Chains A and B, each alone.
Chain A
Amino acid sequence: MKAMKNVKSICKLCSLLILFSSFAAYSFSQDDKEARFESSYKLNHDGKLAFRVYDSDLKVNVWKNNEVKLVGEIIVTGGKTEERESLIQAFKEPEVKSETNFLDINTEFWKNIISIGFVNRISLKNGKKVSVTKFKASYTLWIPENIEFELKSKYNDVEIADFAGIFNFDLYDTDIRTGDFGDNSTVIAKYSTIILGNGGNTSFDIYDCDVTAENMKDLEIESKYSTLAFSSVNSVKVQSYDDDFDIQSLSGIQAKASYSSFLLGGQMKNSGFDLYDSDVKGGSYESLHYSAKYSELIADKIGNLNIDVIYDCTLKIDNVDDFTCNESKYDDIYLGVAATSIKMPDVYDIQLIVNKLPQTFSSFTGNFKYGTVTLNADPLLNYKLSCQKTYGSLNYPKERFTNKPFLYIEKDSNTQFENSTAPDANCEISFTAYDLNFTIK
């Protein structure tokens, strides 16, 4: 008897569910309803437009008129006819604040959306509540060419034509493509793809973005987890965490970075890096100030390389004029040509190879503990070699030192050596060492 009752109850429940579903399906027509509106607002050519858009497509055209035109289109799917009409009515009435020099358009027409299964329950800003399956809005703007354009965008696809004014972007999860734009623009973005044309001075504050741009002037970049690629940049100031930079032509960089990589090209003037676990590759520098831990620097040519501290780093520099490293530990340094001088007052456990000391080379000084130093001097370079060492080894081309040493004292494990390849040698190679294998060829 009990089982029979249960079966009856289940049947009743199923019937109710079927009834409810049929009613819901009947009530929720899946037809699309399309609607469109168009509005225009006056704005001076040097005014400011603030535009807010959420989960839509936006296309921005530029014209010479002193007015802003907004065209909105919407497709609503599902829901009762009257509720769809209410939603469309709310869509057609964006919040607008208009002054002579300032226009603020907020296209978000709802306060709250709750998704229950395939239904979206939407509380509109006008107080009404509607239920629809979905809606998709898109907007087209026409803006004066010289204004300041402030765009607040979330989850949109945006396209903007060439523009002479200022951009102020605040973007969340937005794919944006722009033409050229003017000076003093700012881009604040998270989880966005940003493709820019030629731009003026611009500041970026980005988080997990892909930025691609053409030729830019001076940039200030604060970025995390992003990739940035520019055709050319005048100068750039960077604060970076876990980014990849690719700048084909650059005139100067000041960067503080962790877990980042820089692929750079061009002739750079005064530049500086303060790095942690970051790599810099390419480019030539007139002057470079460098400090790093667990990092790599590969450069074509550096006029004056001044290093504060390096720790567990690899340096590969094809050409350097003056090389100064104030403190080095556990580093691996390769210099193709060291044209003028090398100064290393505090070195611990180094692998240093200088492939060529040309005739222009004038000074090598250092204080070394452990490691290996190998110098390849030009056969025509005359030099005075003086060292004071404990343990380790000193290898030099004996055939080039025809005179007797000025000084040669060997006691216990200490050696003092001083000699010259020619009496008028202008180049001086002088160092103190503890357990260093020193070779000059």
Chain B
Amino acid sequence: MIILKENHVKLLCVMKLESYIKENRKALDVEKPDEKYLWKGIIQAVGSLKKPRRLIISRSAAAVAAITILVIIGAYFIGRNQHNNLILVNVDSKLAKQEVILLRQIDDYSEQIKKTGFNVDQLVSGNREVEYIDDLIHYYSEDLKQNGPNPRLINSLIDLYKKKILVLNRMLNEIEKNESHEKRKINM
């Protein structure tokens, strides 16, 4: 019969514990922060951040200001481009509104004509007619810039926009007629 002394038992326990730890290290490792230690660090850091905070605020303000300036500049250029197309904007707000509506209609018809993919040079009311109207609009707008508004001039300008709409509408009709003509030919 073997009789183990108390020391020997302790030694055996320690050895088992070491081997147990070695075998189960991964499971025993827990990534839990030392909260006390951490809080100490945070409190220190917050104390030391009082000066850079101002710096951050001023930097943020600068960034906001820069963005605002960029937006304003962008809006100015976009607005200026839009205003470049609007001849009557400096004459009268009602006329400017009318001009906007007419220009929208022109854009709409132009887009519709583009979509058809038709060769517009074959039309009776071709591109030359539209270009001629554009030339006249340019002529009258230059006159407006140089000599100021004049009721007859303004009437003519508005009428030219309306004519452009009329011609574009006719171009669409002529395209439609041409296409139905083609269908008739096929039917023959």
Contacts and interface: CB of A to CB of B under 8 A. Distances in A.
B83 to A, nearest CB: 17
Given A207-B136, A241-B129, A258-B124, A155 B146 contact: no
Interface stretch (B8-16, B33-41, B152-160): B152-160
List of 8 A-B pairs having minimum Cβ-Cβ separation, nearest first: A173-B152, A113-B148, A115-B148, A191-B156, A155-B152, A276-B124, A258-B124, A113-B147
B163 interface: yes
Nearest to B90: A115
Given A225-B163, A259-B170, A155 B150 contact: yes
B188 interface: yes
A54 B147 CA distance: 10
Interface in A182-209: 190-191, 207-208
A32 interface: no
B150 A190 contact: no
B148 A114 contact: yes
A190 B188 contact: no
B167 to A, nearest CB: 9
A93 B159 CA distance: 35
Contacts of A114: 148
A190 B136 contact: yes
B152 A191 contact: yes
A193 to B, nearest CB: 11
Interface string A262-274: 0000000000000
Contact of B153 (A110, A155, A241, A330): A155
B156 A120 contact: no
Interface of B: 124-125, 129, 136, 143, 146-150, 152-153, 155-156, 159, 163, 170, 177, 184, 188
Contacts of B129: 241
B159 A208 contact: yes
Nearest to A173: B152
Given A154-B143, A241-B129, A258-B125, A55 B150 contact: yes
Contacts of A115: 148-149
A417 interface: no
Interface in A154-185: 154-155, 172-173
A112 B159 contact: no
Interface in A94-143: 110-115, 120
A245 interface: no
Contact of A112 (B147, B152, B155): B147
A111 B145 CA distance: 11
A155 B147 CA distance: 11
A348 interface: yes
A303 B148 CA distance: 57
Contacts of B150: 55, 155
Nearest to A110: B147
Contacts of B143: 154
A173 B156 contact: yes
